[in-house]
Structure 1
Amino acid sequence: MNTYLVLKCIHILSSTILFGTGIGIAFFKWITDRSGDVRAIRVVTERTVLADWVFTTPAVILQPLTGLGLAYPAGYAVFSGWIFYAICLYLLAGCCWLPVVWLQIRMRDMARIADAGSTALPPQYWRYARAWFWLGVPAFSALVGVYWLMVSKPTL
């Protein structure tokens, strides 16, 4: 089988997993937080952290590896044109995602404590939840931009 096509398939699948898991996690966590149900928040936040490790992290690693593996044989200069801008947007998304992972782990721990003690979530949880949400906006927007660049491949 053609190595280029295998890399391309892995690149497309991992981008789909990255984007789909990200938006799915965001939706379910955000909507569950709105419920105020501490036990549901605990469970969903635990699953959010797990999904990030199982799905998002491997996709985050595979994306640049396969992207670089595709760019070179296709004759694209990696640090110029649309690929350069895609890399910049990808790095922006990553700079948002890393603190999001940290926040999710902290929120999971707070939800576990609140659920075990049958208490309300502390105010810090809600501050973290707001930061988590707002970090998702530029990350999501950046990935939409990366998709657009990969599909359109504009001359820049």
Structure 2
Amino acid sequence: MASLPIFLKTLHILMATVFFGTGMGVAFVKVRADHTGDVRIIAWANRFVVQADLLFTIPSGVLMPVTGLALAWQYWPSWGTFWAMVWATPWLLKALVGWAVAGAFWLPAWRLQYRMHALAAAALAEGSPLPEAYHRYTRWWMLLGFPSFTAAMWTFWVMVSKG
């Protein structure tokens, strides 16, 4: 039977991989769908993006810091020494900051995904082209997505390199 730290570390790595991979996957699918100009494909892709975030990004984004902090707690099991350890361990502090930055940019992008999904679904149902708001939201989604994804990649690197 595996020890608790090995289980937590494995789950932590899996959640980081799911978080990172889902981010790349949904961005790829949405961008490719938008480039077709086909409202049917765009509506499907936006529904897929929302579902993927609900099923993968949110759970992994929550479990990742929980498992990471639980791992740290294994070695510093009191709040006083735990927070002192976080402040005294630069790579851990950097990882928490990176995760928070990624989330700060991702949350508004996630809200835009819901709006784009609703606009694309309405356009499909009405047989009309996508409204200008859809394209405006897409530009904002991309602008928010780049720093979010960059922060996630940087955090992944910090965790692996302990840098």
Instruction: Assess same fold via TM > 0.5.
Output: yes
Counterpart of 2:34 in structure 1 is 33
Q: Which moved more, 1:73-82 or 1:39-48?
A: 73-82
Matches within 5 A, 1:144-155: 144-154=153-163
Q: What one-letter code is carried by the residue in structure 2 that aligns with 1:87?
A: L
Task: Provide the aligned C-alpha RMSD in A.
Answer: 1.2
Matches within 5 A, 1:23-102: 23-74=24-75, 77-80=85-88, 81-102=90-111
How far is 1:74 from its partner?
A: 4.3
Counterpart of 1:6 in structure 2 is 7
- Structure 2 unaligned residues grouped into runs of 5+: 77-81
Counterpart of 2:125 in structure 1 is 116
CA distance in 1, matches of 2:29, 2:75: 39
Corresponding residue pairs, total: 154
SS at match of 1:32: helix
Q: With the length of structure 2 as denominator, give the TM-score of the two structures.
A: 0.91
Matches within 5 A, 1:123-138: 123-138=132-147
8 Å CA contact retained: 1:72, 1:78: no
CA distance in 2, matches of 1:20, 1:79: 29
Structure 1 residues 47-89: Cα deviation after superposition (integer angstroms, max 9, x where no partner): 1100100111100110110010112334582234111111111
CA distance in 2, matches of 1:148, 1:22: 16
User: Which runs of 4 or more aligned residues in structure 1 lie more than 4 Å from their structure 2 counterparts after TM superposition?
Assistant: none
How far is 1:101 from its partner?
A: 1.1
Counterpart of 2:152 in structure 1 is 143
8 Å CA contact retained: 1:68, 1:78: no
Counterpart of 1:105 in structure 2 is 114
Q: What one-letter code is carried by the residue in structure 2 that aligns with 1:99?
A: P
SS at match of 1:120: coil
SS at match of 1:78: helix
Q: What one-letter code is carried by the residue in structure 1 that aligns with 2:87?
A: F
CA distance in 2, matches of 1:131, 1:56: 19
